[in-house]
Amino acid sequence: MTRTLALLDKPNRSSFGLTPLAVEERGGVRVLGLAPASVHRGRGLDDRQVQELISGGHALATEISIPQDELSSDTVALWLGEAFAERAEKLNLPTAPLPTVSHRADGGRFFLGPAESMYPYLEYWTNAAFRRFRAESDSSVRRNIAALMDWVLPNRAESLAAKWISAPDPDRELLMQIRTFARDRDPEALRVDHEKLLSSSDALADLRLVVFTGGTGVKRGDLAQRFAKQFALDVTTFRKPIANRVDPQAINLGEKEVKQLLMDRGQAAVDTSPLGLALEALRSTSYFRKVLVVDGLRHHAIRDTLRWLQPRKLVIVGVTVDSILRRQRVIARGEDPDLLFGHKTEREIPQLTVEADRQIAETAPESELRELFDALQA
């Protein structure tokens, strides 16, 4: 086990962001989550110096034990301050569904995971806040949203545009941005960029998703592919980004072992960052027609994440088959259905199917798929 010592760059109770952390490892101190340009900050740091940083108000003490194999050099702490969460709730700007495991610290809580899986929480919250900002007519609410965005990613184009247009003196704000985050810009060019961004729309706002759920032994994937082929749509799966992580290990494994490995890694990905996994799946293919078929929904956290992303349309489809036939198929594959259906990646699927916008038999005729497509277009 590895013991965490502190969150560096002491996070504020009003902020939502990423921070590196110091851990005790093999009798010494190791700093995780530093950008390449900042690696020197962690060299030679010892326990006494960490305690000095804490007492000096430059780090936040936290002592928890984490299995060593769950931490890597790019592990960061996703910090959610109590005051930030309260302000975001009042503005109806919640975060995306968060990782399963959280840890408490003075002024907030934090979640550990790879930087690439945690950064999207900041990026897409900023996108969601900016979308809300543009739709809001109340100037006071707009200023509050812009101020909250400034606590997350102050250098993002969306944050700068929101601060500029909602500032009491936009010209003065523009000059302030030139002196800080936009030093290579001239005022007029920056103004034009802000105006373009404020009048644009993001890609997700135009995207229509049809998402298929159904457990092992249901020919869900076949139905999803048939639907996509009938209407010439692009398809993505949650299996694809997970398989990309395990393929090198699966070369010499049998089908059952590969299935188990994918299930275990998939569950770990959902626990670590449901937003990260959802985005990996959506980004793994293009969607020229602004319609995307997504196969393999297994978790409420992923469904709720897709809803949080607020695509233009989201239709969840539960694929059904006779339960006896489903068990027979699993047994024919040489697997124990009770053991398989009890895995965490399978447990939520029956309820997801019940709660789906539509339930469709795996043998659905083309006419029923046409009805689904029409509903997606409505």
pLDDT of residue 260: 84
What is the number of other CB atoms lying within 10 angstroms of the CB of residue 367? 7
* Residue 177 CB contacts under 8 Å (≥ 6 apart), including other chains: 160, 163, 164, 190
- Print pLDDT tens along the chain (378 aa): 788 899 998 899 999 999 999 998 877 898 999 877 677 676 778 889 999 999 999 999 998 888 877 888 899 999 999 999 999 999 999 999 999 999 999 999 999 999 999 999 999 999 999 999 999 999 999 999 999 999 999 999 999 999 999 999 999 999 999 999 988 889 999 999 999 999 987 778 889 999 999 999 999 999 999 999 999 999 999 998 898 877 665 666 777 788 888 899 999 999 999 999 999 999 888 766 789 999 999 999 999 999 999 999 999 999 999 999 999 999 998 899 999 999 999 999 999 999 999 999 999 999 999 999 999 988
Helix or strand (DSSP H, E) at 162: helix 157-166
pLDDT of residue 206: 86
The amino acid at residue 176 is M
* Residue among 312, 247, 225, 243 at smallest CA distance from 280: 243
pLDDT of residue 71: 84
Q: CA 107, CA 84: separation in Å to the nearest integer?
A: 10
Alpha-helix residue ranges (DSSP H) falling in 310-348: 323-332, 337-341, 344-347
Q: CA 31, CA 294: separation in Å to the nearest integer?
A: 38
pLDDT of residue 168: 95
pLDDT of residue 369: 97
What is the number of other CB atoms lying within 10 angstroms of the CB of residue 157? 17
Which pTM does this prediction carry? Answer: 0.92
Tokens of 200: 């644009």
Class of domain 204-377: alpha beta
Helix axes 274-283, 115-135, angle to 10 degrees: 80
- Any idea where the domains of the chain sit in the sequence? 2-115, 136-198, 204-377
Q: Half-sphere exposure of residue 56, counting CA atoms within 13 Å on the CB side?
A: 9
pLDDT of residue 16: 98
| One-character DSSP codes across 71-120 | --TTEEEEEEEHHHHHHHHHTT-PPPPPPS--EEETTEEEEEEEHHHHHH
